[in-house]
Amino acid sequence: MTDRNKKKKGHAIALFSGGLDSALAILLILKQNIEVTALTFLTHFGSEIKDRSSSGSDPYPVSEKFGFKIILGHLGERFIDIVKSPKYGHGKNMNPCVDCHILMLKEARHYMNLVGADFVITGEVIGQRPKSQFRNMLRAVECDSGLEGYLIRPLSAKLLDETIPEKEGLVDRDRLEDINGRSRKRQMELANKFGLEDYPSPAGGCLLTDRSYSNRLKDLFEHTEKVDFNDLNLLRFGRHFRLDEYTKVIVGRREEDNEKIIKYAKKEHLMLEAVGTGSPIVLYISTHGEDKLIDAAAITGRYCDDKAKDEVEISCINEGDGRIIKVAPADPDQYSKYLIR
């Protein structure tokens, strides 16, 4: 446990995901009697946040054990713009990892200047991830974020150029690490040395790395002029069908999906449900009126408990509507081609 009453010789701002590497970077700096304030950033493409969880791992247990402060921030609409058109491109799916990191570092630089801190640290390791953690890209990130000379990567610092805090003696370079590549052997040794337990395995919580979610997001961007957070939240739930350039249908797969569809539906959307039988909630989203409403009703019938019947009754359950549509359940082969996979 860090002695909070001992006078600190400096102040660092850390990017902290709650994962092992960023935790170790913080501990290496804390051990040099430097205060650390950790910034944990949230986006609308992370895990759902409940109280003290984040899009990565819960950052609070480590901060409470080792005595550093955490500040939560949200990247908001600025991040949506980056996802649409990242300077450094996307990863395998819709993940703009390099541009995302630069945005977080710009926020860290702003906070560093605001509180008069001395430098910024991250848990990056040379060669650990393709594209975003090669030496030339680490340098580009440092320059684009405006942190030239003031960004320390403690886990790989001995392999990188000496920073200003190291040159000035604020940080002892000899007490930093020279980790390179994808092996996590040295990180696990450090975790054991520091008493860092129950750290998560290296897996991302970002939905932008998921192929299915990314395909839904691409479809949303292509067919929606102004995307809002309800649109983004709906991408997490149900099956999504693109019937034509104007019309999308979302079918709940389980009770949670049904609840979320109702929660995030807009007043101009129509909600459908089969009458008198187990049924998903189905959301009809269209900028072309009700041209495809019969198709949406047939899809609703396809996923209700009475799907084997020749005809089912589908109700529009929007307040004040109550229409009943009688349709034959959709042929799975006919509609599977519209599924966004």
Residue 95, domain CATH: 3.40.50.620
pTM: 0.88
Q: In the chain, at which residue ranges do the beta strands (DSSP E only) sit? A: 11-15, 35-42, 69-74, 119-121, 151-152, 239-244, 247-251, 270-274, 282-286, 312-316, 324-327
Residues 178, 222, single domain; the answer is no
Residues 163, 216, single domain; the answer is no
> Could you tell me the pLDDT band of residue 1, with boundaries at 50, 70 and 90?
very low
Residues 171, 39, single domain; the answer is yes
Residues 82, 124, single domain; the answer is yes
Query: Distance between CA atoms of 248 and 241, rounded to whole angstroms?
Result: 6
Query: Distance between CA atoms of 303 and 252, rounded to whole angstroms?
Result: 9
What mean pLDDT do residues 165-186 have? Answer: 96
Residues 140, 266, single domain; the answer is no
Q: Which residues pair with 71 in a beta bridge?
A: 39
Residue 262 and residue 271 in contact, taking contact as beta carbons nearer than 8 Å = yes
Residues 59, 180, single domain; the answer is yes
Residues 109, 183, single domain; the answer is yes
**Count of domains observed in the chain:** 2
Q: Which domain holds residue 105?
A: 11-194
Residues 183, 243, single domain; the answer is no
Residues 262, 314, single domain; the answer is yes
Residue 54 and residue 71 in contact, taking contact as beta carbons nearer than 8 Å = no
Handedness of CA 120, 125, 129, 132 (dihedral sign): positive
Residues 189, 69, single domain; the answer is yes
Residues 225, 162, single domain; the answer is no
Q: Which residues contact 331 (CB under 8 A, 6 or more apart)?
A: 302
Handedness of CA 335, 95, 205, 200 (dihedral sign): positive
- In-domain check, residue 291: yes
Give the pLDDT confidence score for residue 136 in this predicted structure. Answer: 87
Give the pLDDT confidence score for residue 52 in this predicted structure. Answer: 39
| Interval 103-160: pLDDT, tens | 999 999 999 999 999 999 999 999 887 666 788 899 999 999 999 999 999 999 999 9
- In-domain check, residue 296: yes
| Interval 227-277: pLDDT, tens | 999 999 999 999 999 999 999 999 999 999 999 999 999 999 999 999 999
Tell me the one-letter amino acid at 159: L
Residues 183, 72, single domain; the answer is yes
